[in-house]
């Protein structure tokens, strides 16, 4: 495995579309989360753990979908048990073996 998802997490109620919301398709990705993607090209845009108390009020927005500087900083690494063996996490940020 390797790099599958880099996101910026924000409060769910802060998500606002300026335009194009009709081009987002939501689907149930698991028992606890849903994903939003582009209807045209299938690019992953959002992850929302809507059935998880810790994440239901937050949404992950694909870092690659944001234009311009964000000022974001890495807060945690998840699924580190599955990370590629070709890199080390030495930044001192909390790590979760799974989710």
- pLDDT classification of 79: cutoffs 50, 70, 90: confident
Least confident of 23-37, 47-61, 73-87: 73-87
Average pLDDT for the chain: 89
In this structure, is residue 91 part of a structural domain?
no
- For residue 42, give its domain range: 7-72
In this structure, is residue 38 part of a structural domain?
yes
In this structure, is residue 20 part of a structural domain?
yes
In this structure, is residue 90 part of a structural domain?
no
In this structure, is residue 27 part of a structural domain?
yes
pTM of the model: 0.76
* Distance separating alpha carbons of residues 11 and 9, to the nearest angstrom: 7
Question: The CATH number of the domain where 52 resides is what?
Answer: 2.170.150.70
In this structure, is residue 96 part of a structural domain?
no
CB-CB neighbours of 64 under 10 Å: 12
The whole-number average pLDDT for the span 10-17 is: 91
In this structure, is residue 1 part of a structural domain?
no
The whole-number average pLDDT for the span 22-41 is: 95
Exposed, middle or buried, 47 (CB in 10 Å: 0-12/13-18/19+)?
Answer: buried
| Predicted confidence (pLDDT) at residue 50 exceeds the cutoff of 60 | yes
Q: What are phi and psi of 38, to 5 degrees?
A: -70, 130
In this structure, is residue 98 part of a structural domain?
no
| Total domains in the fold of the chain | 1
The answer to whether the CB of 48 falls within 8 A of the CB of 59 is yes
């Amino acid at each position: 495995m390797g790099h599958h998802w880099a996101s910026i997490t924000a409060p769910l109620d802060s998500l606002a579309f300026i335009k194009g919301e009709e081009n987002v398709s939501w689907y149930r990705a698991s028992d606890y989360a849903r994903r939003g993607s582009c209807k045209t090209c299938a690019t992953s845009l959002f992850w929302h753990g809507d059935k998880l108390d810790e994440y239901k009020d937050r949404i992950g927005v694909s870092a690659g979908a944001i234009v311009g500087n964000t000022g974001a900083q890495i807060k945690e690494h998840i699924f580190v048990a599955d990370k590629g063996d070709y890199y080390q996490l030495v930044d001192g940020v909390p790590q979760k073996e799974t989710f």
